[in-house]
Amino acid sequence: MGISEERKTPIRANLKCLFICLAVSMANCQYGFDTATVGGFQAMIGFLEIFGYKNPESASGWSIHTETQQLMTSLINVGTIVGVFVTAPFAKYFGRREGIWVASLINFVAAGVQVGTTNIGGLYAGRALIGLANGYFITFANIYVAEVAPAHMRGLLVSFFGVWVNIGSVLGSVADNYSKQHLNKLCYQIPLASMFAVPALLSVFMFFVPESPRWLLFHNKPEQARRALERIRGHSLSPEFLNEEYVEMARGIEEEKELASSASYLDMFKGSDRRRTIICLGTVMSHSAAGLWLIIGYGTFFFQIAGVDKPFEASIISTCGSFAGVLIGLYFTTKLIGRRTSMLFGSAMASLCMLAIGIAYVTGGTSKPAGSAIVAFMVLYGFFYNGFSGTLSWPVATEVCSSRLRVLTIGVCTGINYFFNWLTSYTAPYFINPDELNWGGKYAFVWAGSNFCVFLFFFFLLPEMKDRTLEELDELFQNNVSVRNFKKYQCVSSERAKEVALKEVGLEGKHHVVVETVEDTHASKV
């Protein structure tokens, strides 16, 4: 039992849905671009002349205060925390498309403030605003894709999050590398001005993207929901199987409405939703627990103090390694292995790579061989983490939540995650800055242990959800199916939706009717 095999159409039949999801997921490019560029500013003379201080002992002659490092990197997380917490009340009245338009508008303001200011307070305000925009981008873009993707393609399509983040990171690193030659404020204004491009494109694209059918159904707009589903699916499904998907979607949302009349924070921890919230929280927090912000926020600076000769080029290599990992990981996770195996492998390898970085620094210090080893293991870390764990974390987090609580749960869990991202980005300078603890590469030992804890969480609590519809996942969690039995459990919700859909289009007993017609025709001839 389960969804009809005819609904598992190939990618070429779903090109329209694929392009829609690709366009919406582009919102995540902004997140990757911003974090990559700002991480490089801390090693640019033109930026340090305005926001840093002279330091004759530094190789460049300039340095940056620990407090400035902390605030410019961590305030984006503060803004993101605010952003994701206000998405839930926003989503009660406005759809996913409106959320992305609001994010684009905030982003325009934030980028403009950062380009135009030479005041440290203006820089901080711009960082907080860009975080607010990212909170909306991350929440609404990824939830939209999870809600409109066909069940058998959801892992691939939601994983566009990782693809776009890494494309943004590569573009940001390249922009820094080529703008660093300017020894005035143009070195950072050029990359910041580039942040107008993605929101401008998104703002135009969203006029042609249909609203999420699940959001429309939840807000009692069934006719609009059916039309939106027809537009998204295009010609990939015949009418009876499109109707089957619509019926399953509508029945699942109606059943959720019967369980509770409204979504509240307490509902996240009631009944079967408690388990779903814990899995979502652990999966989303695997981002901050992975030590990703050491690379995102301080990658170039980290390479510089670790003795790497060309820190900007090393950052480009590192982000390219991450991008390659995403592309290869997508193939493995969609064709060969499931979500659970991929998440376990990615977190285990991330732990080993962080351990290797710490060992290389302890044994070699800032020597050239140690620097080469640190770059190599940082590239491997990005390859394995982004390819097998980081990219899939968003598909897992969005699909594990019930439709009624999806925006609320994702918002809360993302907010908590960004609190720890803020904590990491705020405290990291104390560990790696030569003026403070001066741990340098030894800081990686902390993240080796943290990634191992993530591995244990996935091993004991994460079930395999590959190829399940969101309505099937509702049934699995409501029936409290164990991690061990999750993959082989036979759902009945899809079968019921199939029966209802067949009745509605008059196809139940189709073959029986045909046989009777042939026999009657033969009798009449006789």
pLDDT per residue, tens digit, the chain (526 aa), is 456 677 788 888 889 999 999 999 899 888 888 877 877 777 788 888 888 788 777 666 777 777 777 777 778 878 888 887 788 788 888 989 999 999 999 999 999 998 888 888 888 899 899 989 988 898 888 889 888 888 888 877 877 877 888 788 888 878 887 887 787 888 888 888 888 999 999 999 999 999 999 889 888 898 999 999 999 998 888 888 888 888 888 887 777 666 655 556 788 888 888 999 999 999 989 988 888 766 665 566 666 655 666 766 777 777 777 778 878 877 777 777 888 999 999 999 999 999 998 898 888 876 777 777 887 888 888 889 888 888 788 778 888 888 778 878 888 888 888 788 778 877 777 776 666 777 777 888 999 999 999 999 999 999 988 878 887 888 889 888 898 888 888 877 666 666 665 666 554 444 333 333 333 333 333 3
Q: Which of 102, 85, 95 is nearest to 219 (CA)?
A: 95
- At residue 460, the pLDDT reads 94
CB atoms within 10 A of CB 5: 9
CB atoms within 10 A of CB 130: 29
Distance CA 35, CA 389 (A): 20
- At residue 523, the pLDDT reads 36
Tokens found for residue 47: 């930026």
Which positions ≥6 away from 238 have C-beta within 8 Å? 6
Q: Which of 182, 176, 69, 45 is nearest to 120 (CA)?
A: 69
8 Å CB contact between 324 and 383: yes
Distance CA 386, CA 168 (A): 14
Q: Which of 283, 284, 389 is nearest to 344 (CA)?
A: 389
Distance CA 64, CA 264 (A): 44
- At residue 209, the pLDDT reads 92
Alpha helices (H) along 234-291? 239-259, 272-289
8 Å CB contact between 168 and 134: no
For residue 53, give the 3-state DSSP assignment. strand
Q: Which of 17, 19, 286, 259 is nearest to 147 (CA)?
A: 17
Tokens found for residue 243: 């109707």
Q: Which of 88, 82, 195 is nearest to 143 (CA)?
A: 88
Phi, psi of 53, rounded to the nearest 5 degrees: -150, 155
Tokens found for residue 239: 């009418």
Distance CA 350, CA 344 (A): 10
Query: Looking at residue 270, what DSSP letter applies?
Result: S
Size (the chain), residues: 526
Residues paired with 380 in a beta bridge: none
